[in-house]
Structure 1
């Protein structure tokens, strides 16, 4: 009889823990409206472009890059006078250098 009770208790313990391994548990301290950030466009910041007949370089994320360079996991494909074009896998995009705006003096 004791052996039967032990087998029943062991089987109940085993079957109650098996489904837990297949599920991921939510952190109870995170807000209910929280959703994790998905990988999207790469975080790139264009800071300067050096463009001339013999020089096509840019500063992206604080790094000096040329056409064909890699920065933040993307490849710089083309540099124009006001844009830097990049490619990450099948995704392409462009960074635009905004003109400096200064306040007019009177």
Structure 2
């Protein structure tokens, strides 16, 4: 399943700072429809994503009926992303794992 959406980078402070982009409501609803075929446990969903010129693999985290896309330093730093930056995300949900 291929999805494209825009979102803002935000920081979630915990034991270490983590950065995410929230998946909007409509794509989150589409993901929920295939979640049982995609999840490998704990509700996380494996994806391949691209922000700018940087492609990466990660897993979406479920949060309040939607999903969060982690944005690793390996993506943030080369793309020059900071908290509050608006990004376009191209993402493929990996089905059938």
TM-score, structure 1 length as denominator?
0.24
Q: Which has the larger radius of gyration?
A: 1
Q: Which has the higher strand share?
A: 2
Greater length-normalized contact order (CA 8 Å, ≥ 6 residues apart)? 2
TM-score, structure 2 length as denominator?
0.25
